[in-house]
Chain A
């Protein structure tokens, strides 16, 4: 089983719709969770950290479910500029290493 698993997509979603991705992780000791965004042929950039209580940043909401070992990303009122690959990233306590998922590709359709 992969340490971090994501549905690769692609997700093709009409502009203005709401879309959600899930990501599962295998290590129950994982402590920190992130979503990164990667545009085509570019470097990943941090979108948001995922906190235990869930957190929201504008149209983006991230949630963590420790019992089921998954994190989610919800994008509301999707824009064309949201088209990208979204990487789920997991880190273990006291460990500088990040483990990246393979990414979920999202395309927003006009």
Chain B
């Protein structure tokens, strides 16, 4: 089946630890995105990548890092510098990074719920 997978579904982390969230897609999409969702708030963009080996900061990049070594994969590392990391993390992908008149539809993975203990 084609789609986006995220793992793990639930993740618990001790304060001060770095943790990496996985996101893989087999849709042959060029663009990938990481969002964070907190209760009562809209999705906020952390990082995005329009092409392999390139990525840009979103609105709330501080305390996070990403890599895009392969087209299919866009892992997100939540570092100890992130002050409030407990949240629902959503990865998405689209055919390309937009730039045209209408942005491509973004397809979301099932998400990872991160809890810092």
Contact = CB atoms under 8 A, between A and B. Distances in A.
A43 B89 CA distance: 10
Given A32-B103, A91-B103, A96 B97 contact: yes
A94 B97 CA distance: 9
A61 to B, nearest CB: 20
Given A44-B90, A46-B105, A102 B41 contact: yes
Given A42-B110, A44-B90, A100 B43 contact: yes
Interface residues of B, number: 29
Contacts of B103: 32, 91, 95-96, 98
Nearest to A87: B42
B8 to A, nearest CB: 15
A54 to B, nearest CB: 16
A43 B108 contact: yes
B48 A96 contact: yes
B117 interface: no
A42 B111 contact: yes
A56 to B, nearest CB: 19
Interface string A27-43: 00001100000000111
A44 B107 CA distance: 8
| Complex A-B, nearest 6 residue pairs according to Cβ-Cβ distance, in ascending order | A96-B98, A100-B42, A43-B108, A100-B43, A96-B97, A102-B42
Interface of A: 4, 8, 31-32, 41-46, 49, 87, 91, 93-103
